[in-house]
Amino acid sequence: MKVNLFRISRWLGIAAALALPAWAAPTVKLITLDPGHFHAALVQAADYPQVDPVVHVYAPAGADLDLHLKRIDGYNTRPDKPTHWQEEVHTGPDFLQRMLDEKKGNLVIISGNNSRKADYILRSVQAGYNVLSDKPMVIVPADFEKLKQAFAEAEKRGVLLYDIMTERHETSTILQRELSRMPEIFGTLEKGTREQPAITKESVHHYCKMVSGKPLQRPPWFFDVTQQGEGIVDVTTHLVDLVQWEAFPERILKPDDVRVLAARRWTTKLSAAQFEKATTLKDFPASLRGCVNSAGELEVYCNGEFTYTLRGVYAKVSVTWNFEAPEGGGDTHYSIMRGSTANLIIRQGKEQNYKPVLYVENKGTANPADFEKLLQAGLAKLQGTYPGLAIKPADKAWEVVIPEAFKIGHEAHFAQVTAKYLKYLAEGKLPEWEVPNMITKCYTIMEAYRLSR
């Protein structure tokens, strides 16, 4: 047996850095498949005790791979809490087949060009790999059929297929969910109407922004909806997931529970100068020129919204992409859950310094003093997990004051999702509602995609 002394000494050093016993050898070995989105790197923005620091990357040579490796190197060399990843890269036209055959790991991370994702997921699962996939797992109806097959294969082979739902780890969203489960405060979730849904979630994103403290360079294919997917199937994955997660927590949902009522899509226009700022390319590539209008602007179908019912509850989700956020701003989120006695509202605009803030709005069924006591008592139940929670008056509502320690930001949520998935992996199973609800989520989005045509 060949002994790799370098890797043994490296693991001993990492074990010491992470305060782990030297015998605690990692049980999970990562493979990164064709990384093209920065989310692939964010999974590795932290070390995990049970994950081998050696990561095998299978990808075609090119800019996407170079940017991914540069981001990982940035995590390894940062002065504050550096990571310890060692990337071993496998390139060439046969990279996918080599990954399937060589079995260098047991968990595949997939975050890149979405036109290939459903096929990557299915083939990885068929080869016996666990898969942690970025959203969206499907961008067209044909992908959905592959995904259903992949889930069936995963069950048969005893592997776990899971998507990265970071927004479940945003503290304001968690508290919105928790308060909605307290009938003394929230009452019961309204059914809503088509004009005024019981749940509305709106997300605004930006092409040009900072990630890990550096300007984000987008790959040119990100602006091609046949490769990235339209807005109505991309960010809405998070929003539909949150509707399910909050309205019917830990309940199994089925496609028959869904009825999509209306859907539409529209474009964001980018000048050549804006495209260059986002990608560093001076000209639109040939693959995008069919989407350039007579004014020389690239038109991208990155915006979408739809209204639907889930078990009779009306919901509306929408996503908008702008080129760049206002000064001091960033991606934003708005969410409202309408209860019979209170509304739970998350706002993230200029007034909130572009940080998510949760408000509780009394609908008048209790006098303000009594309602405040009920709200204080409800928050007291959460102090064990979130010590320091408080409330303060905010016009006709109460603002839930969340201590800074629980405001960790979107990028850090990737490590939280990964850590939870690793726990499921150690247990050998997902919660029973996760797989049917992922299927129902993708069904909802595909129905909206069809209707938006």
- b/e per residue 69-100 (b: at least 16 CB within 10 A): bebbebbeeeeeeebebebeeeeeeebbeebb
- The mean pLDDT value for 189-216 works out to 92
In the numeric block, the tokens 């102090």 are attached to 383
Q: What are phi and psi of 408, to 5 degrees?
A: -90, -15
- Going from N- to C-terminal start, the domains of the chain cover 5-163, 168-411
List, for residues 344-398, the tens digit of each pLDDT value. Answer: 999 999 899 999 999 999 998 778 899 999 999 999 999 999 999 999 999 889 9
Q: Kindly give, in sequence order, each residue whose CB lies less than 8 Å from that of residue 152, ignoring residues fewer than 6 positions away.
A: none
- The mean pLDDT value for 163-175 works out to 97
Q: How confident is residue 262, by pLDDT bands cut at 50, 70 and 90?
A: very high
Torsion of CA 7, 71, 414, 171, to 10 degrees: 130
Tokens of 440: 């129902």
> What amino acid occupies position 156?
K
pTM for the whole structure:
0.92
List, for residues 393-437, the tens digit of each pLDDT value. Answer: 998 899 999 999 999 888 899 999 999 999 999 999 999 999 999
Give the pLDDT confidence score for residue 216 in this predicted structure. Answer: 87
- The mean pLDDT value for 256-273 works out to 98
Identify the CATH homologous superfamily for domain 168-411.
Dihydrodipicolinate Reductase; domain 2 (3.30.360.10)
Helix (H) or strand (E) run with residue 124 in it? helix 117-126
Comparing 17 with 146, the larger pLDDT belongs to 146
- DSSP 8-state code for residue 35: -
Give the pLDDT confidence score for residue 11 in this predicted structure. Answer: 42
Q: Are 254 and 443 in contact (CB under 8 A)?
A: no
Residue 2 pLDDT more than 70? no
Quick check: helix, strand or coil at residue 7? helix
- DSSP 8-state code for residue 218: P
Tokens of 446: 């595909």
Residue 5 pLDDT more than 90? no
Identify the CATH homologous superfamily for domain 5-163.
NAD(P)-binding Rossmann-like Domain (3.40.50.720)
Cβ-based burial of 274 (10 A; exposed 0-12, middle 13-18, buried ≥19): middle
CB atoms within 10 A of CB 432: 10
> What is the rounded average pLDDT for all residues in the chain?
93
Could you tell me which residues are beta bridge partners of residue 58? 33, 90
Q: Are 362 and 368 in contact (CB under 8 A)?
A: yes
